[in-house]
Chain A
Amino acid sequence: MGRILLICRLALRDLRRRPGEAALLLLATTAATATLTIALALNGVTGQPFQSTRAATAGPDVVASLAWPGQSEDPADLAGLEALASAPGVAAHSGPYPYTQAVVEANGVTVRAWTQGRGAEAAAVDQPALVEGGWVADGGAVLEASFAQAIGVDAGDAITLGGRSFRVAGVAVTAAADPYPKVCLAPCWFGVGAESRAENGPPRTRPRPERGPPSGPPEEPSFWIGQGGLVWVTEADARGLATRPGSLAYVMNLKLTDPAAAPAFVRAHMPEAESMLFPVAWQDILYGHARVAEWKQTALLGGSWMLGLLALASIAVLVGGRMADQLRRVGLLKAVGGTPGLVAAVLLAQHLAVALVAAAAGLLAGRLVAPLLAEPGIGLIGRADPGPLTLPVAGLVTALALGVAGVATFLPAVRAARTSTVRALADLPRPPRRAGWLIAVSARLPVPLLLGLRWAARRPRRAVLGVAAIAVTVTGIVAALATDARRYAEKAPGDDPRTALGQVLSLVVVMLVAQAVVNAVCVIWAATLEARRSSALARALGATPGQISAGLSAAQVLPALGGALLGIAGGIGLAEILDDDPVAVPPLWQLLAVVLGCVVVIAGLTAVPARLNARRPAGEALRTEPA
């Protein structure tokens, strides 16, 4: 007990003596824990609003659509749909409702919309819930809420639909379709039905996936598979908007006795390959709604682990630098009877204490920020509540903080504890590493590079930590840029709700950059402290302050440049891993800007301590006896 008290007292005193360092550690670890908390809080955040929307709209368990995509003049064969309505396990149904595709023009935005014909009476299954205005009427269209928001229309506005003028009668939400721009009815397919069909071979006539102008040449397909919204009109208007029989399709909404069995129902009722009938389970529609939140969560989870790695690097550098600075104190502690174990325990205790505070601060900050990022998703009703803080979440966040602090502190602490007492009391620094080939190469370089390379090589572990920190940061930034590039390459007309991910990506990037700056400050602090004597010696041997200053900068900038180049490859790889779709490589100018940005920031951060170091009289550092 007495030993524990002693460790606590020594650890507390150490923290008080170095409040700036403790604050840096706290900041670095809190950034990681807060981001992890947000990411965990966003898990399944869309589920609740989707269920509310299902309840409010009598949402279907299966949406079955049937298309006959234009290669024939035959009308859609409704027998398949009618058979589904009477299948075992079906409790209720609505439809079949006719639908077609029509070009919507509003506020300068031109985009296709799946246009579904509905009756005036309320449907037993999938009756869209109005959030604005009234229900469909002749010449009056109701727009799905995410679609209305994307193209910026409200009830009462005028739009053009299939070349005809319509009034926006209302805006409604539904649980029967993905949000804009991912609405998908036959001949578009997705979900377990698509998987089942892929296993059984492709349909005889595949839909044409290529994009074309909304109003194309006469030979354009009856259905255009791509980004689009959802509009409800009267059945008469829907039939009127279908330019020919093949461009009219039908959709039916089914309620099952066991909603959880919807995927199994879909698999069981997949028609033979030739049919253009596509049933979709409600779970797949929920997945579509959850995609935006899922992207956010993936970005935040990735970000939190990267921030954790950066915190690890920062703490390792801080502890290593501090050990070099405090070697004499460690020696004194050992000389008065402290065991190596006590020395290591004191160091571990203070960093674990900071980690615990960081875990608490991260949990609190994460809980406060998560609701701001957890909007329900446009097109759903109800509140997206990140949910209460659970024990597993708190445990995982605390484990991250303690793990980072423990791993980063353990090795330097053990090394300090094992340093010979005499050597520690003499304050002899650890001998630097020698890289013979680098010394030979650097002899041929200009003086700043000669000095910079040799300084960087003296402490390879610190250089590797610096490279790793920049590589992790650039990986995060490039992955965010790649994700962003793909989102914008695929951006739907109007205000695509998926671009809301930009907010989260920006948050992750800002936190990564902030964390990287903290790390760079730690590395530069440790490196400048260490270079005091050797830079003074170089000056005594004839190096100018400018050469010293440039050399100290080069010692940081060269590893940063290597880290940035590694990070570019890492970022594109990470985006590829995190995204099911092919990754979009960010434009070259963005990649160059990231690399140059790293170099400039590191050079800027190094410039001040390097100049201060170069201005100090060399004699001070070389003095061997008092004046």
Chain B
Amino acid sequence: MPSESLSSLGPALRTHGLRMRYGQGTGLVNALDGVELEVARGETLAVMGPSGSGKSTLLHLLGGLERPSEGEVWLAGRRIDGLGEKALARLRRQAVGFVFQAFHLMDELTAEENVELPALLAGMSPRAARRRAGELLDRVGLAGRAGHLPSALSGGERQRVAVARALSNEPLVVLADEPTGNLDSAATADVLRLLDSLRETGQTLVIVTHDARVAAIADRLISMRDGSFVEETRLTRGGGRLSELAGLEG
């Protein structure tokens, strides 16, 4: 199993010389240009930047959803950029949870069925998967909405279901792509509280966002532009930079 080859020491994620190019000739786009990154275990990292700066591409590469044009990606001490699709899938199953801006819930499945799906794909028994889904929905405050279809849930509730789904297999790292991008203020606050509670439990989180309020819960903030990191800030909780950022988009 891939999890057996993952180290319990060292950083959760690391990249070296990461490059990603799309297209060719005059249409060549450098989505990522030599990114060097290290995310410690239990750390919450926020990546900010304008549209097209390469944030989502970075997230996909970190989660093995795409392969880099050049460079290395390490997950818990294991290099994953050269792994085959099958090995990557097993790795994601065990070590990575995704949260997407568009939620990407299965429309025909209830909240509970959506949350149990990763566990079923990982081979957990239906009974154990259902029990785990119940616990997670309870944790995100949606125990009473377990039997509802996504269409019957608000945007914030859908994203909380997506977060619960991401936690289904107790991943080493949760990668969140604009988790509040489609939400109103109230729903954003709910999701922020949830992410913050995850941070407090020691869950490694990498959050790509436009929203300074989301970034404010992070331990570290990286700004991106044109595929490169342009600024890195370690955030301290309770004032200064954090309050300043939170106030920007209030």
Chain A residues in contact with chain B, CB under 8 A?
Answer: 431-435, 439, 443-444, 447, 450, 454, 457-458, 533-534, 537-547, 614-615, 617-620, 622-627
Distance in Å from the Cβ of B162 to the closest Cβ of chain A?
11
Whether A627 and B90, one on each chain, are in contact in the complex, defined by CB atoms closer than 8 angstroms, is no
Given A439-B108, A627-B54, check contact A620 B66 (CB 8 Å): yes
Given A444-B126, A620-B66, A625-B51, check contact A431 B89 (CB 8 Å): no
A622 to B31, CA, bound (A): 16
Which stretch of B73-81, B110-118, B241-249 is in the interface? B110-118
Partner of A625, one of B20, B56, B90: B56
A447 to B104, CA, bound (A): 19
A443 to B129, CA, bound (A): 9
A620 to B109, CA, bound (A): 23
Would you call B106 an interface residue if the criterion is a C-beta within 8 Å of the partner chain's C-beta atoms?
Answer: yes
Whether B108 and A443, one on each chain, are in contact in the complex, defined by CB atoms closer than 8 angstroms, is no
Residue of A nearest to B54 (CB): A627
Residues of B within 8 Å of A, CB-based: how many? 48
Given A431-B151, A432-B108, A539-B89, check contact A447 B101 (CB 8 Å): no
Partner of B107, one of A431, A541, A618, A625: A431
Interfacial chain A residues near B90, Cβ < 8 Å:
542, 544
Whether B22 and A627, one on each chain, are in contact in the complex, defined by CB atoms closer than 8 angstroms, is yes
Interfacial chain B residues near A619, Cβ < 8 Å:
57, 60, 65-66
Chain A to chain B contacts (Cβ below 8 Å), 23 pairs: A433-B108, A435-B108, A533-B104, A539-B92, A540-B63, A540-B104, A541-B117, A541-B121, A542-B118, A542-B169, A615-B85, A617-B60, A618-B65, A620-B66, A622-B60, A622-B104, A623-B56, A625-B52, A625-B55, A625-B56, A627-B29, A627-B31, A627-B56
A450 to B113, CA, bound (A): 12
Cβ contacts B122-160/A at 8 Å (1 or 0 each): 110010010000000000000000000101000000000
Interfacial chain A residues near B116, Cβ < 8 Å:
443
Partner of B85, one of A444, A454, A544, A626: A544
Whether A457 and B89, one on each chain, are in contact in the complex, defined by CB atoms closer than 8 angstroms, is no
Residue of A nearest to B166 (CB): A541
Whether A542 and B122, one on each chain, are in contact in the complex, defined by CB atoms closer than 8 angstroms, is yes
Given A431-B151, A540-B98, check contact A443 B181 (CB 8 Å): no
Whether B89 and A544, one on each chain, are in contact in the complex, defined by CB atoms closer than 8 angstroms, is yes
Taking each of B67, B100, B106, B113, which has the highest tally of chain A beta carbons within 10 Å of its own beta carbon? B106
Given A431-B151, A543-B121, A626-B52, check contact A457 B108 (CB 8 Å): yes
A434 to B165, CA, bound (A): 19
Distance in Å from the Cβ of A516 to the closest Cβ of chain B?
28
Distance in Å from the Cβ of B64 to the closest Cβ of chain A?
9
Cβ contacts B219-247/A at 8 Å (1 or 0 each): 00000000000000000000000000000
Residue of B nearest to A546 (CB): B86
Would you call B120 an interface residue if the criterion is a C-beta within 8 Å of the partner chain's C-beta atoms?
Answer: yes
The 5 lowest CB-CB distance pairs between A and B, nearest first, are: A542-B93, A619-B65, A619-B60, A627-B31, A619-B66
A568 to B3, CA, bound (A): 49
Cβ contacts B172-192/A at 8 Å (1 or 0 each): 000001100100000000000
Whether B100 and A624, one on each chain, are in contact in the complex, defined by CB atoms closer than 8 angstroms, is yes
Whether B56 and A439, one on each chain, are in contact in the complex, defined by CB atoms closer than 8 angstroms, is no
Total A-B Cβ pairs within 8 A: 113
Would you call B102 an interface residue if the criterion is a C-beta within 8 Å of the partner chain's C-beta atoms?
Answer: yes
A458 to B20, CA, bound (A): 35
Whether B100 and A545, one on each chain, are in contact in the complex, defined by CB atoms closer than 8 angstroms, is no
Given A542-B93, A544-B89, A615-B85, check contact A450 B120 (CB 8 Å): yes
Whether A624 and B181, one on each chain, are in contact in the complex, defined by CB atoms closer than 8 angstroms, is yes
Given A439-B108, A619-B60, A624-B101, check contact A540 B65 (CB 8 Å): yes
A286 to B242, CA, bound (A): 100
Given A454-B108, A540-B98, A617-B66, check contact A545 B89 (CB 8 Å): yes
Interfacial chain A residues near B104, Cβ < 8 Å:
533, 537, 540, 622
A623 to B86, CA, bound (A): 21
Interfacial chain B residues near A547, Cβ < 8 Å:
89, 121
A51 to B138, CA, bound (A): 88
Interfacial chain B residues near A623, Cβ < 8 Å:
56, 60
Interfacial chain A residues near B55, Cβ < 8 Å:
625
Residue of B nearest to A444 (CB): B126
A439 to B111, CA, bound (A): 13
Distance in Å from the Cβ of A452 to the closest Cβ of chain B?
13
A251 to B129, CA, bound (A): 86
A435 to B109, CA, bound (A): 9
Given A443-B120, A617-B67, A627-B54, check contact A545 B93 (CB 8 Å): no
Interfacial chain A residues near B149, Cβ < 8 Å:
434
Distance in Å from the Cβ of B172 to the closest Cβ of chain A?
13
Whether A542 and B92, one on each chain, are in contact in the complex, defined by CB atoms closer than 8 angstroms, is yes
Partner of A439, one of B51, B52, B85, B109: B109
Taking each of B22, B55, B89, B169, which has the highest tally of chain A beta carbons within 10 Å of its own beta carbon? B89
Interfacial chain A residues near B117, Cβ < 8 Å:
538, 541
A458 to B120, CA, bound (A): 19
Interfacial chain A residues near B151, Cβ < 8 Å:
431
A614 to B86, CA, bound (A): 10
Whether B56 and A624, one on each chain, are in contact in the complex, defined by CB atoms closer than 8 angstroms, is yes
Residue of A nearest to B94 (CB): A542
Distance in Å from the Cβ of B206 to the closest Cβ of chain A?
15
Whether B51 and A626, one on each chain, are in contact in the complex, defined by CB atoms closer than 8 angstroms, is yes
Interfacial chain A residues near B126, Cβ < 8 Å:
443-444
Residue of B nearest to A539 (CB): B89
Partner of A458, one of B89, B108, B165, B181: B108
Whether B93 and A541, one on each chain, are in contact in the complex, defined by CB atoms closer than 8 angstroms, is yes
Partner of A624, one of B63, B89, B113, B178: B178
A624 to B56, CA, bound (A): 8
Given A542-B89, A618-B65, check contact A434 B52 (CB 8 Å): no
Taking each of A431, A547, A626, A627, which has the highest tally of chain B beta carbons within 10 Å of its own beta carbon? A627
Interfacial chain A residues near B123, Cβ < 8 Å:
447
Residue of A nearest to B227 (CB): A627
Whether B85 and A614, one on each chain, are in contact in the complex, defined by CB atoms closer than 8 angstroms, is yes
Residue of B nearest to A434 (CB): B108
Interfacial chain B residues near A538, Cβ < 8 Å:
117, 121
Whether B51 and A432, one on each chain, are in contact in the complex, defined by CB atoms closer than 8 angstroms, is no
Interfacial chain A residues near B20, Cβ < 8 Å:
627
Whether B56 and A540, one on each chain, are in contact in the complex, defined by CB atoms closer than 8 angstroms, is no
Partner of B57, one of A434, A618, A627: A627
A542 to B170, CA, bound (A): 13
Interfacial chain A residues near B60, Cβ < 8 Å:
617, 619, 622-623
